[in-house]
Amino acid sequence: MSFSTDQSVIISGVGSYAPPRILTNVELSQMVETSDEWIRTRTGIRERRIAGPEESTSDLAAKAAAEALRDSGLTAGDIGLLVIGTVTPDMPFPNTACFVQQKLGLGKIPSFDVEAACSGFLYTMEIARSLMLVNGYKHALVIGAEKLSSITNWEDRTTCVLFGDGAGAVVLSLVDEPDIGIIRTIMGADGTEANILCVPGGGSASPSTVETIERSMHYIHMQGNQVFKIAVRVMCQSALDILEKAGLAAEDVALVIPHQANNRIIEALAQRLGIGMERFKINLDRYGNTSAASIPIALDEAWRNGRIRSGDLVLFVAFGGGLTWAASLVKWH
């Protein structure tokens, strides 16, 4: 839904940052009972980036955002709104955006986090877009940033092979032109499936105690094959829904940038949409699943590699813990 027919919100800058430390499948196979072959064939992942102990989510976020600002040609003083999608905040509070505001030297602008797991970046972008159209913020920074290694159980082979750390960011700008930039977003959630993918300990339901730590409740818990089945269904449904609502067809899409969780989920989506894999941006082989950071990191690579041109229709689609899902259509300016 748009609030004004003569204004749009475009992506005017893109950036990303991934910590330099690479953790390969071979290294993981020395830590838990797994193999490079199992991880590659079941997920497509070959390696992931891992942040150092001195790096927090806000450090990763600030580096990605600085790149996006540079790409947009704007400066810190131009930004009127800052929103971050993350499930790995620096602290329960204050929010991570406040740390990033300070690290980037932004003004005293509204700054907050959104928690929608792997759908976090698309949720965040839509919240920022809506606030820009209602309140007239000219430029906003939207970031997806995660240090998933901090909530990963490195002794659990069913989860530790999947995740990585990183951050991606976009600058959004309000323009006096209709039907350009983010032309439509849909979002949804099914709270009845909340328990199949969660960090059960450390919140108000089960505050951290010696017992919760001993039971590894501060780590990601996931019923992988349940998540897999729902992910395929909601990714396909969201992509088809948004195209139908926008009156567009799969053939109109120049590039699909899906959440980077598992190659097999993306292949199922490609088949359902009837779009060849060559029109999908995939980089999960090198980053694993970076939750809210995965889509903006992939967008940054696609943008820098010249895979997006003016006038292209780009489809973003994500699912994540909650379970949440979202899709956005962007007509590149």
The catalytic residue positions are 118, 259, 289
Tokens of 284: 């999960």
Do the bridges between strand 181-189 and strand 197-198 make them parallel or antiparallel, or are there none, so unpaired? unpaired
When binding is defined by CB under 6 A, the residue of 228, 240, 279, 333 that contacts ligand ACO is: 228
Binding pattern for the stretch 46-85 against ligand ACO, x by CB under 6 A and - elsewhere: ----------------------------------------
Q: How far is the CB of 285 from ligand ACO (least distance, A)?
A: 14
DSSP label at residue 318: E
Tell me, by CB under 6 A, how many residues bind ligand ACO: 23
Angle ∠(155,40,25) on CA atoms, nearest 5: 45
Site membership for ligand ACO, residue 40 (CB under 6 A): no
Q: Which of 90, 125, 82, 80 is nearest to 295 (CA)?
A: 125
When binding is defined by CB under 6 A, the residue of 185, 289, 290, 328 that contacts ligand ACO is: 289
- Of residues 251-270, those binding ligand ACO (CB under 6 A): 261-262
Amino acid letter at 281? Answer: K
Site membership for ligand ACO, residue 188 (CB under 6 A): no
Contacts of 128-132 spanning 24+ positions with Cβ under 8 A: 128/9, 128/81, 128/83, 128/172, 129/9, 129/172, 129/182, 129/185, 130/3, 131/81, 132/9, 132/81, 132/172, 132/174
Q: Which residue has the tokens 């990183």?
A: 166
Site membership for ligand ACO, residue 192 (CB under 6 A): no
Residues 6+ apart with CB under 8 A from 203: none
The stretch among 96-104, 132-140, 153-161, 304-312 that binds ligand ACO (CB under 6 A) is 153-161
Residues 6+ apart with CB under 8 A from 178: 5, 6, 7, 8
Q: How far is the CB of 82 from ligand ACO (least distance, A)?
A: 22
Closer CB to ligand ACO, 40 or 333, in the complex: 40
Q: Which residue has the tokens 């991934």?
A: 18
User: How far apart are the C-alpha atoms of 326 and 320, rounded to whole Å?
Assistant: 9
When binding is defined by CB under 6 A, the residue of 12, 72, 260, 291 that contacts ligand ACO is: 291
Q: How far is the CB of 255 from ligand ACO (least distance, A)?
A: 21
User: How far apart are the C-alpha atoms of 251 and 2, rounded to whole Å?
Assistant: 24
Site membership for ligand ACO, residue 38 (CB under 6 A): yes
Site membership for ligand ACO, residue 197 (CB under 6 A): yes
When binding is defined by CB under 6 A, the residue of 5, 30, 204, 225 that contacts ligand ACO is: 225
- Of residues 88-147, those binding ligand ACO (CB under 6 A): 117-118
Site membership for ligand ACO, residue 227 (CB under 6 A): yes
Alpha-carbon distance values, 204 to 4, 87, 97, 153, 200 (Å) = 40, 15, 22, 21, 10
Site membership for ligand ACO, residue 297 (CB under 6 A): no
**Binding interface with ligand ACO (CB under 6 A):** 34, 38, 42-43, 87, 117-118, 157-158, 161, 197, 222, 224-225, 227-228, 231, 261-262, 289, 291, 320-321
